[in-house]
Amino acid sequence: MSFFLGIETSTTVCSVALFDDDQLIQFCEVNNGYTHAENLHVFINEVLANAKLKPQQLKAIVVGKGPGSYTGLRIGVSAAKGMAYALNIPLISMNSLQNMVAGLKNKLAFNDCVFVPMLDARRLEVYMGIYDQTEKELEATSSFIINENSLTEKFSKFKHICLFGDGAEKCRDFLAILRNAQILSQQMPSAINMGKHCLKSFINKEFEDTAYFEPFYLKEFFSGK
DSSP for residue 108: -
Q: Report helix, strand or coil for 166.
A: helix
- At position 61, the amino acid (one-letter code) is I
> φ and ψ at 46, to 5 degrees?
-70, -45
Q: Report helix, strand or coil for 61.
A: strand
Angle between helices 70-87 and 36-50 in degrees, nearest 10: 40
**Domain of 145, in residue numbers:** 104-184
Does one domain contain both 171 and 113?
Answer: yes
For residue 89, count other CB atoms closer than 10 A to its CB. 20
First to last CA, the chain: 50
The answer to whether 20 touches 1, Cβ cutoff 8 Å, is yes
d(CA 64, CA 8) in angstroms, rounded, equals: 5
116 in any annotated domain: yes
**How high is the pLDDT of residue 107?**
57
Evaluate if residue 207 carries a pLDDT over 90: yes
For the entire predicted model, the pTM comes to 0.93
67 in any annotated domain: yes
**How high is the pLDDT of residue 219?**
73
Does one domain contain both 113 and 138?
Answer: yes
Which of the four pLDDT bands, split at 50, 70 and 90, describes residue 175? confident
Mean pLDDT of 150-165: 93
- At position 211, the amino acid (one-letter code) is A
**How high is the pLDDT of residue 176?**
86
Does one domain contain both 36 and 82?
Answer: yes
pLDDT per residue over 93-127, tens digit each? Answer: 999 999 999 998 655 656 678 999 999 998 899 99
Domain count, the chain: 2
Does one domain contain both 7 and 85?
Answer: yes
Which of the four pLDDT bands, split at 50, 70 and 90, describes residue 1? confident
